[in-house]
Structure 1
């Protein structure tokens, strides 16, 4: 209980410092903020109105307390530049877009990278490990905007070529898995895992032939729109894949390295000596202690993606937080900038706290050390 109270106190202190630093952004603006908003052609009455709206006629501590009180109630005021709108409403409209792209991209990256890294560590130095490592290094060498451009060119402007390539890959996987399953069965080994892979790849081939989807070049469809979930997923597919490809390479490298070290430890050797099957050793014994670094990287990645999806939002013309902040900076709308930075910083801090909590769940030693 004492450890939990200590963490909560630390979290509150960090959030307060974040709010203070965010508020002081306005004080760091050179010159008169009213002039920065209106330019040099405003009238004295207009300058006075902007200063009053920003609270510049009040002492610094009173302005901070007033702004913080409004922020705690979800009231960030009204934007300074046309079209004048409620800042809280603007954030509420933009934040779900960014969060969905970042969270779905992170989830897709984990879904691909975890089994890839686990199996690559198990087959260290063999064909799967070499090919997956080569693919990971190739993806890591590409910047996010280039990945997005490639996906747009392939899936939007040349869908037939992408369909053919996907079919060839799926057929190759099905054929290779079936052939290897036959060899295993001939040696007396269990072929069922490879048979499952071959069946899933065959089903994928049929789906690619019958129902190859079309993807829009830009735009966003909200869940409450007429198209519902299906249209929403169709619009976010390429942005999510862009984000996922940018993250899964790092996740795969981190988890593969940790898994290789964990598989050489004594308790894993003891599990092998007890005759546990391979999937129990990999998933039940080795994955959990090897996942600490991945949890840290994934938590930090989600926090950074919340404020770093600007490139993806620009490429696919998405109405997210990144574009909102850039537009606010270009128009000198400091009220919106302050609110956006505060919200993103608070999300980043809370995600870090969630990662610390997840450590305590994954590793009982941490809980015992804090008691």
Structure 2
């Protein structure tokens, strides 16, 4: 009877862990869209982020300490929260990292440094991406490093703070991605090594589907679009003793410790549309695609925002249309001024593009 009871308890514990693990795997998060006229300035100041709703905050309640050194969060020892943002039209991810630590450890020149370790997989390709996880175990380690490490997903060891060193180690063969025009960072803090205090880190990075050691000449940026999902994860590595090589905690967003080198263990983040409060009341906008240059056939796409009751296209050749997304054939070759006018309860709006549409 005792053995059966132990068996049931063991089975119950296994099922509990199984369901908890799967629940963790299904977690997803949101990336806030900044209006294009309110792009955050990278200066270590949080004012630009005040518009971000609390629902976008990812705090310590979403992390767990997977080295077994802490049973629960102690905000008097360490507390962290992160916001992630993006801007439509830019292939950049913006981050605001705010942390309190009772002992900031950052006086040494090497890896021993309080760290925000971030991985990004812009196209959710998944899979291992560091040299020692290369599937071909016979491959020379440096060959694996230069051909594989950080190429399709990237790992940033961001030093919090960086003193007398670059703001981050890009763990891979492409350190060029930590410099402008591919990233930027700024800190705000007033403590010395070994002291307590609050740190603000503001930065942006460019995610890459391909980032080789040869530099940006062959690089492929990840395309960021509304409602697209990207994979992210991070860990907070907390050191509390400059003389102790071991850290005092590894607080992980992913359920898998090895997320640092395998993007399959990252979590899904959705690039959100603008929050309703930032919608323009009425704004005409449009794009186009030349679908047949030989026949001068052009497809127009209405991208206007707001409440619209009527619209009119002027194709610049003396013809118009009231269709939302018309296809127009130009009879003559030339450069055209195309205008879209929209109307609604909040007035009128016009978007003109001068000589964007050129057919031959």
TM over 0.5: no
User: What's the TM-score, normalizing by structure 1?
Assistant: 0.23
Q: Going by fraction, where is helix more abundant, 1 or 2?
A: 1
Q: Going by fraction, where is strand more abundant, 1 or 2?
A: 2
User: What's the TM-score, normalizing by structure 2?
Assistant: 0.23
